[in-house]
């Protein structure tokens, strides 16, 4: 049943991608987090909502684009970021779709995730899935999902880092940590979380959208971004943190709550937590 949800995402995301070229303009509305919505955000959200709620196993659908949860009858609750990194559409850079499949009603803690996935619209379309304790990368092509990397694991020796937010807005303890990381790793930041995290999954390293002086909870949302990406990185042998604890242990209080996100090799996350303590 979880499989049919992942299959629906694997079929729908390429359709979302195919519909992007004519939908680069901003509409008049904002999403519940106060960000301007593109025609593409609305399109991706309504297509995913329709396809996922059509499944018997889906008991509710929630997305970054809607203020409330849409309820139905079914065992699983799906939280979706229909177009992660959608501001990259204007500059034609990488972006994609994230889903978290929870067995508790939303908002739910990360330990209730039974599967998480992201579809990356890069030069090729791939889908990375964490399920049953293992991470698999699939190639999505001609309506087929083909496994290309099984038991995906973070490389032991980290190579890249990418941190969001304006540098003068970083709290002093985080800025101090960055100074040490910069001595060891190479900067890679593209402005779409899943694309930046995929660099970390591929080469090893750390991605963060940290707490900012102007926004102590950071930018990214726990249900739609923090939890699913932490689930994928932790299942691939890495670690996640809100600064103090695994993102999967952060208490869910609100559907659209934000959380500082740090994910990557365990040694780098341990050092981060020591620097922020
Ligand atoms: O809204 C989420 C998002 O697009 C993430 O995918 C990305 O990591 C972040 O925002 C980029 O934000 P900024 O434009 O501040 O670098």
pLDDT tens digit sequence for 78-110 = 999 999 999 999 999 999 999 999 999 999 999
Identify the pLDDT of residue 270: 98
Q: 194-204 b/e with 16+ CB inside 10 Å = b?
A: bbbbbbbbbbb
Spacing, Cα 196 to ligand 1 middle (Å)? 10
Question: Given pLDDT bands bounded at 50, 70 and 90, which one contains residue 75?
Answer: very high
Determine the Cα angle at 177 with ends 175 and 182, to 5°.
90
Ligand 1 is surrounded, with C-beta below 6 A, by 84-85, 87, 164, 191-193, 209, 219-220
Per-residue pLDDT of 24-41, as tens digits, reads 888 778 888 888 888 999
CB atoms within 10 A of CB 129: 26
Q: Is 73 annotated as a binding residue?
A: no
Q: Are 45 and 61 in contact (CB under 8 A)?
A: no
* Cα(113)–Cα(24) distance, integer angstroms: 32
- Taking Cα atoms as reference points, which of 7, 189, 254, 194 lies closest to residue 115? 7
Q: Could you read off the pLDDT of 113-151 as tens digits, one per residue?
A: 999 999 999 999 999 999 999 999 999 998 889 999 999
Query: For residue 229, how far is its CA from the centre of ligand 1 (angstroms)?
Result: 14
Shortest-distance Cα residue to atom 1 of ligand 1: 85
Q: Is 7 annotated as a binding residue?
A: no
Give whole-number Cα distances, 47 to 8, 54, 97, 179, 276, in Å. 11, 11, 12, 43, 41
72 is in an annotated binding site: no
Q: What is the pLDDT of residue 261?
A: 99
Question: Whole-number mean pLDDT of the chain?
Answer: 96
- Please give the pLDDT value at position 35: 84
């Amino acid at each position: 049943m979880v499989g049919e949800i992942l299959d629906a995402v694997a079929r729908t995301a390429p359709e979302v991608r195919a519909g992007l070229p004519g939908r680069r303009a901003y509409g008049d509305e904002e999403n519940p987090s106060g960000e301007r919505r593109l025609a593409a955000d609305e399109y991706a959200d309504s297509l995913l909502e329709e396809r996922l709620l059509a499944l018997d196993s889906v008991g509710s659908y929630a997305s970054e684009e809607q203020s409330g949860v849409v309820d139905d009858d079914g065992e699983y609750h799906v939280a979706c970021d229909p177009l992660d990194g959608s501001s990259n559409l204007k500059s034609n850079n990488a972006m994609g779709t994230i889903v978290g499949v929870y067995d508790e009603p939303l908002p739910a803690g990360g330990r209730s995730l039974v599967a998480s996935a992201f579809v990356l619209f890069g030069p090729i379309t791939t889908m990375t899935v964490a399920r049953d304790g293992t991470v698999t990368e699939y190639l999505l092509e001609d309506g087929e999902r083909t496994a290309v990397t099984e038991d995906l694991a973070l490389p032991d020796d980290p190579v890249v880092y990418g941190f969001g937010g304006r540098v003068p807005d970083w709290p002093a303890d985080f800025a101090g940590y960055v100074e040490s990381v910069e001595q060891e790793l190479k900067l890679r930041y593209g402005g779409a979380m899943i694309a930046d995290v995929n660099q970390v999954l591929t080469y090893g390293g750390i991605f963060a959208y940290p707490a900012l002086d102007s926004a102590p909870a950071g930018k990214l949302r726990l249900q739609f971004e923090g939890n699913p990406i932490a689930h994928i990185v932790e299942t691939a042998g890495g670690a996640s943190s809100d600064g103090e604890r695994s993102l999967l242990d952060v208490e869910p209080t609100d559907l659209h709550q934000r959380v500082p996100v740090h994910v990557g090799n365990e040694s780098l996350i341990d050092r981060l937590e020591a620097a922020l303590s």
